[in-house]
Amino acid sequence: MSPAPLRVIVADAYAATRDVIEQVLAGERRFSVVGTAATLEETLHLLEESEPDILLVDPWLSGPAGLPACLAAKQFRPHLLLVALLPDEREDYRRAAQAVGADAALQKRQIARRLVSTLQDVLRTRRQ
């Protein structure tokens, strides 16, 4: 019997980004998207309501307020895996994501190619 899929929330202002992530994860039995959010408020509601294992989030969702919200999510749910969806490869974006507790960071343009492997790497690291 296979374990229950890990529960994923996708939080990004752009519907196209959310759609691509849902399509990529639809073919993966290990992951189940339990909600998507376009705003910080929707994200916080989903975090409370669905108790996810993984949050895929643009840390700048709703502007600068998104960064502290990511940190709060990690503080209230220490087991939560947080993957920051970055707009590009700028090092300051990656550092900001790490500062708010991101377990990994992924450039949005790499989602289709690297999302599943990034999640697998984070899960493997978490088990060690």
Average pLDDT, the chain: 88
In the structure, what pLDDT confidence band is assigned to residue 2 with cuts at 50, 70 and 90? confident
The Cβ-side half-sphere exposure at 18, using a 13 Å CA radius, reads: 16
The percent of residues above 90 in pLDDT, for the chain, comes to: 55
CA angle 91, 92, 94 (to 5 degrees): 65
Would you state the pLDDT for residue 115?
Answer: 97
Q: DSSP 3-state assignment of 36?
A: strand
Distances (CA, A) of 24 to 32, 70, 86, 92, 96: 11, 23, 17, 27, 26
Phi, psi of 29 (to 5 degrees): -65, -20
Give the domain 6-120 fold. Rossmann fold (3.40.50)
Would you state the pLDDT for residue 64?
Answer: 66
**102, pLDDT greater than 80:** yes
47-74 per-position pLDDT tens digit: 989 989 999 998 878 766 676 777 778 7
35-46 per-position pLDDT tens digit: 999 998 898 899
Would you state the pLDDT for residue 128?
Answer: 64
| Residue predicted with more confidence, 111 or 69 | 111
